Amino acid sequence: MATKLCIAGKNQIAVDVLEAAAALPDVTLLCLPTAVDKGYEGWQPSLFAAAQRLSVPVVSLEDLYTQTDLVFLSVEYDRIIRPDRFHPTARLFNLHFSLLPKYRGCNTAIWPILNGETEHGVTLHVIDPGVDTGDIIAQRSFPMGEKTARDLYFACMSLGYELSRDYLPRLLSGNYSATAQDPDGGSTYKRRDLDFSKKLIDFDQTTIEVLRHIRAFTFPEYQLPVVDGLSIVGARAVSPDDAPNGAGDIIRRQTADGMVELKVTSNPPPPIALQQSGY
């Protein structure tokens, strides 16, 4: 009898994982897109459209509650999953964009930059009644470097796909181990913890803090950081004697301990509604 597997989520990673799952033998595949996904392609591909292309049935979350022997994998799904609503035989998993127990919750492409992390990554874990608190199955990491929030999100999608693809057969067979998270070593961020009005840069910070702030709020599909009513599209630390870096509109600002050079534009790409971002 084929195992029932539901891929839930959004964006490129969910499409890629669905395609990988469709190639597995002896699997009855189901798909759960987010509520806003109506099959239209935008800056990211539609999981709903991918399911239609692959002839995978699209289901609601409520449809899944009575399914027996279900394997459920969330890859950027945007609703909280409550295990007690599923059949006791269901096995529920999530791919989270952080190295748990750090950065549970939301905006995992922003907080690590603001906090000066040098490493980031993805975690495959069991879904339990908490928010991103379930036992860890596997993790993969990469160096942060000078990534923007957009860079970080795309790096997590790429590595998260590889981890999900590699572990799908183990999740289906039950051939995996899981380790409890450190209850004292984690952090959790909620949507209300981040004020997106902070895209206006505070230059009373140190140069390092200013550059972190700019990278953390750089995600052109949603927003760009702002100075003097202009959108910042590039930034670097400079000394007063440094020549401008390239063509275009350049602004320089003193920081608490130095100077930054900002490349700006008055015509940024039109943003997507911020409340739908989820990055």
What tens digit of pLDDT does each residue of 144-156 get?
999 999 999 999 9
Query: 247 Cβ partners below 8 Å, 6+ apart?
Result: none
The whole-chain average pLDDT of the chain stands at 92
For residue range 207-217, list pLDDT tens digits in order: 999 999 999 99
Query: 69 Cβ partners below 8 Å, 6+ apart?
Result: 3, 4, 89, 90
Q: Which amino acid is at 9?
A: G
pLDDT band at 270, cuts 50/70/90? Answer: low
pLDDT band at 279, cuts 50/70/90? Answer: very low
List Cα–Cα distances, 86 to 51, 68, 169, in angstroms: 23, 9, 22
pLDDT band at 274, cuts 50/70/90? Answer: very low
For residue range 176-220, list pLDDT tens digits in order: 999 999 988 799 999 889 887 767 899 999 999 999 999 999 999
Q: Which CATH code fits 3-189?
A: 3.40.50.12230
* Residue written as token pair 């440094």: 242
Examine the pLDDT at 160 and tell me if it is beyond 90: yes
Query: 100 Cβ partners below 8 Å, 6+ apart?
Result: 123, 125, 132, 136, 139, 181, 186
Query: 158 Cβ partners below 8 Å, 6+ apart?
Result: none
Examine the pLDDT at 15 and tell me if it is beyond 80: yes
User: How many Cβ atoms from other residues are within 10 Å of residue 97's Cβ?
Assistant: 26
pTM here is 0.93
Contact 226, 274 (CB under 8 A): no
For residue range 50-94, list pLDDT tens digits in order: 999 999 999 999 999 999 999 999 999 999 999 999 999 999 999
* Largest Cα–Cα separation, the chain: 72
- Quote the pLDDT of residue 267: 77
- Pairing outcome for strands 104-105 and 188-189: parallel
- Quote the pLDDT of residue 135: 98
- Annotated domain spans of the chain: 3-189, 195-269
197 vs 233, more confident: 233
